[in-house]
Structure formats: structure tokens, C-alpha cells
């Protein structure tokens, strides 16, 4: 009646290994994507910092009704983190602060131009770019600092801005 330790441990170890292999296969094939956590409290941000709570400017219920894939949700949440850490001091989404409101920014300029502006607005102004000079003049020649963000990070900020806009439109429609 007494089983020795190896007789007990071997089947248990094999079961654990089998579960790990199944989990890896499901993850690799993308089957688990719809079940992965997508709230900000469960998503790790670039640099290993975790967001502690759901974004304040994105209503959880409205965010869920956008029906976005997991990857897009993560981009939006990362974008909020980046926006609040780099942009919110000078820009509102719908309100002018020091610089222009950023709602609809993708409709005003092409993405490539926006990346160049965020990375080095001074260079665009110095090049004589008509729109860059206009913005610079319109905001009392207030120089926007250059940011060392990747194109992906800049796009995540714009994804966040669009999500907030869409959420606002959904709330207004209801």
C-alpha cells in the first residue's frame, strides 16, 4: 500500500510538463489571445513598469465596447502611459494647454510627419515646413521639446488619443 516517492512524483511531474507544453502551444498559435488580460492593472508597460489601475480617461465599459484585439488594447494602454508621462504637461486631448489639443491629430497631418515633429520639431521648423512654422507661430513661438521615442511609441500615443475620441463619440451618441 505504501508507494515510494518516485512512484508518486513521476506521474505528477509528467502532468505538469504536459500542461506547460499545452499552454505554450495555445499561446504560440494565438488561441489564448482573446482570453489574455487587457486591463491596465494586468499589463506590463515598456521598461518593466506596471500600470496600477485602469486608465482614468478611458471608461472601462466604453473601452470594452470598442471590441479591439488584444494587441491594439495593449498599444492604447501603453499610449496612455506614454501620453501622461511625456505629453500631458503641455497638451490636452480636447483642450489647448501650452500646445495644441491633440484630438484628431492624425487627420491633420500624416503619421510620418507627426513622428518627425515629436522627435525634433525644431528641425521641421528650421526646414521651413509650412505647417510646422504655422504651429510654432500660433503658440507664441513656444518650442516643443524633442522626445527620444520610437515610431511605435509615438503611434501608441496616437492610438490612445483615437480611443479616447471614439469613446467620447460613443458616449455622446448614447
pLDDT tens string 107-152: 999 999 999 999 999 999 999 999 999 999 999 999 899 999 999 9
Position 62 pLDDT exceeds 70: no
CB 93 within 8 A of CB 157: no
- What is the model's pLDDT at position 55? 45
CB 98 within 8 A of CB 90: yes
The domain ranges of the chain are 1-35, 39-173
Position 30 pLDDT exceeds 80: no
Work out the pLDDT band at 98, boundaries 50, 70, 90: very high
Work out the pLDDT band at 33, boundaries 50, 70, 90: low
> What is the three-class DSSP state of 130?
helix
Per CATH, the homologous superfamily of domain 39-173 is Cytochrome c-like domain (1.10.760.10)
Nearest to 114 by CA among 156, 164, 77, 80: 156
Once rounded to an integer, what is the mean pLDDT over residues 68-81? 88
pLDDT above 70: percentage of residues in the chain: 64
Once rounded to an integer, what is the mean pLDDT over residues 79-86? 94
- Cα distances (Å, whole numbers) of residue 45 to 23, 52, 78, 111, 140: 23, 10, 6, 23, 35
* pTM, rounded to two decimals: 0.64
Angle at 167 between CA 86 and CA 136, to 5 degrees: 40
Instruction: Tell me the pLDDT of the chain averaged across its residues.
Output: 78
Q: What single-letter DSSP state applies at residue 105?
A: H
Amino acid at each position: 500500500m505504501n508507494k515510494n516517492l518516485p512512484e508518486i512524483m513521476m506521474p505528477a511531474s509528467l502532468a505538469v510538463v504536459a500542461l506547460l507544453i499545452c499552454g505554450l502551444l495555445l499561446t504560440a498559435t494565438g488561441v489564448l489571445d482573446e482570453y489574455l488580460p487587457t486591463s491596465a492593472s494586468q499589463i506590463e508597460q515598456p521598461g518593466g513598469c506596471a500600470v496600477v489601475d485602469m486608465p482614468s480617461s478611458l471608461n472601462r465599459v466604453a473601452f470594452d465596447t470598442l471590441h479591439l484585439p488584444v494587441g491594439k488594447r495593449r498599444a492604447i494602454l501603453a499610449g496612455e502611459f506614454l501620453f501622461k508621462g511625456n505629453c500631458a504637461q503641455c497638451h490636452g486631448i480636447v483642450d489647448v494647454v501650452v500646445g495644441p489639443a491633440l484630438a484628431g491629430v492624425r487627420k491633420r497631418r500624416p503619421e510620418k510627419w507627426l513622428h518627425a515633429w515629436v522627435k525634433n520639431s525644431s528641425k521641421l521648423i528650421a526646414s521651413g515646413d509650412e505647417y510646422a512654422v504655422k504651429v510654432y507661430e500660433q503658440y507664441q513661438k513656444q518650442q516643443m521639446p524633442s522626445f527620444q521615442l520610437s515610431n511605435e511609441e509615438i503611434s501608441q500615443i496616437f492610438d490612445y488619443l483615437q480611443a479616447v475620441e471614439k469613446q467620447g463619440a460613443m458616449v455622446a451618441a448614447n
